[in-house]
Amino acid sequence: MPEQPDGRRDDLAAMLGPLVQVLVAAEQPVLAEHDLSMWGYAVLCGLGDEPVRTQAALAQAIGADKTRIIGVLDTLQERGLIEREPDPADRRARLLRLTGEGRRLRDDVQRSIQQGEQRWLGRLPADERAVFLRALARLSRLAREDLDRSR
Amino acid sequence: MPEQPDGRRDDLAAMLGPLVQVLVAAEQPVLAEHDLSMWGYAVLCGLGDEPVRTQAALAQAIGADKTRIIGVLDTLQERGLIEREPDPADRRARLLRLTGEGRRLRDDVQRSIQQGEQRWLGRLPADERAVFLRALARLSRLAREDLDRSR
DNA sequence: TATTGTTATACTCTATAACTATA
DNA sequence: TATAGTTATAGAGTATAACAATA
């Protein structure tokens, strides 16, 4: 699909909006199947493979308010998907890490989601798709750096 | 910026989120300068260059609830940026169109916004940027078609 | 006195349902 | 009876401010 005939284009945000909307909608059934909220999944992804030293740091990493994720952490902990213990060196802080089961669940869900994304990415020619993903990854990283600076 | 070393990548939604956030944040000062809300701007863009036959159709086109835009239309009309008159052929409906001033304002704002976007797009090599924009336009169109079908 | 986590509250945004006017 | 537009209301999601524990 070429640009509009006169070379004009929609604003980036106007193009990204609908795309985000269908992608988020497509994630819902997968998340529901595993009893995860969007924020629950974001936490599992945000924890990565090394422990995180404070809840506030985790919240910032996933773009949430620190108060926003407390209930989420409660639930994940009750389900044995994460561990949350006071830092012995500073008992105000909570050390956070994935359990084995948490990691497994995260990987399962991520596999399903990225498989679903093929419905969209598959509509792009392979070479264009690779460039798109590389460019998106770069822009996303720059955007995150910018957000981190302004917080 | 290459993919992650192991070839894995973040979910599309996870990459798009921060990008949308900084783009929307960057639009705010421009909109404020012209006393426009985000929805107000969306309406000006949604009206395009031909009249729209009903408010509901306009709302759907910009992804809003029909009740959502009523106050927005009131304000735009008071400012002389749009015209809103009962359709003579069916007086339940309202014919909507941009005034000359509305079109001018829309074009001014859009120019500013797309100029601001260069801060991000400019970080991509020119050839990669062109491919990214083409791919994004295509995915966005597919997403919009999908959303329209499910409404 | 400052920081981490927590709770309660208030605020914003949005959708839902009920109403009017036309058809 | 059905549709376009409007209004009022309720709900979801979010941030803000106050508080307890620890440093």
Distance CA(B15)–CA(A134), nearest Å, equals 11
Contacting residues of A for B47, CB less than 8 Å apart:
none
Strand D, nucleotides covered by protein (CB < 7 Å): 3-8, 14-17, 21-23
The residues, any chain, with a CB within 8 Å of residue B137's CB and separated by 6 or more, are A1, A3, A9, A10, A15
DSSP B22: H
Is B113's CB within 8 Å of A147's CB?
A: no
Distance CA(A16)–CA(A125), nearest Å, equals 19
pLDDT of residue B1: 38
pLDDT at B3 over 60: no
Q: What is the mean pLDDT of residues A65-80?
A: 97
B85 touches strand C (CB under 7 A): no
Instruction: Name the CA dihedral angle for B19, B144, A126, B23, rounded to a multiple of 10 degrees.
Output: -10
B43 touches strand C (CB under 7 A): no
Confidence of residue A2 (pLDDT cuts 50, 70, 90): very low
Distance A24 CA to D22 C1' (A): 40
Contacting residues of A for B128, CB less than 8 Å apart:
131, 134-135
Name the 3-class secondary structure at B116: helix
Of A20, A123, A131, the CB nearest to B13: A20
Q: Are strands B90-98 and B82-87 parallel, antiparallel or unpaired?
A: antiparallel
Contact A82, B37 (CB under 8 A): no
Q: What is the mean pLDDT of residues A35-52?
A: 96
Q: What is the 3-state secondary structure (H, E, C) of B58-86?
A: HHHHCCCCCCCCHHHHHHHHHCCCEEEEE
A41 touches strand D (CB under 7 A): no
Contacting residues of B for A138, CB less than 8 Å apart:
1, 123-124
Phi, psi of A59 (to 5 degrees): -60, -45
Please state whether B70 falls in left (phi above 0), alpha (psi between -120 and 50) or beta. Answer: alpha
DSSP A4: P
Distance CA(B128)–CA(B20), nearest Å, equals 19
Contacting residues of B for A47, CB less than 8 Å apart:
none
The residues, any chain, with a CB within 8 Å of residue A16's CB and separated by 6 or more, are B16, B19, B20, B23, B136, B140
pLDDT at B2 over 60: no
B55 touches strand D (CB under 7 A): yes
Sort B40 into a burial class: Cβ within 10 Å, 0-12 / 13-18 / 19+: buried
Is A142's CB within 8 Å of B123's CB?
A: yes
Contact B12, A139 (CB under 8 A): no
Is B15's CB within 8 Å of A135's CB?
A: no
B73 touches strand D (CB under 7 A): yes
Name the nucleotide nearest B70; use CA and C1'.
Answer: D6
What is the tens place of the pLDDT at every residue in A138-151? 999 999 999 988 87
Give A96 to chain B, closest Cα distance, Å: 21
Q: What domains does chain A contain, in order, with CATH numbers?
A: 24-123 (1.10.10.10)
Instruction: Name the CA dihedral angle for A121, A127, A130, A132, rounded to a multiple of 10 degrees.
Output: -70
The residues, any chain, with a CB within 8 Å of residue A87's CB and separated by 6 or more, are A53, A93, A94, A95
Contacting residues of B for A147, CB less than 8 Å apart:
18, 21-22
pLDDT at A4 over 70: no
What is the tens place of the pLDDT at every residue in B17-68? 999 999 999 999 999 999 999 999 999 999 999 999 999 999 999 999 999 9
Q: What is the mean pLDDT of residues A37-56?
A: 96
The residue that minimises its CA distance to C1' of C3 is A92
What is the tens place of the pLDDT at every residue in A7-33? 789 999 999 999 999 999 999 999 999
Of B24, B63, B131, the CB nearest to A128: B131
What is the tens place of the pLDDT at every residue in B94-135? 999 999 999 999 999 999 999 999 999 999 999 999 999 999
Residue B81 token pair: 């940026």
B151 touches strand C (CB under 7 A): no
Instruction: Tell me which amino acid residue A110 is.
Output: Q
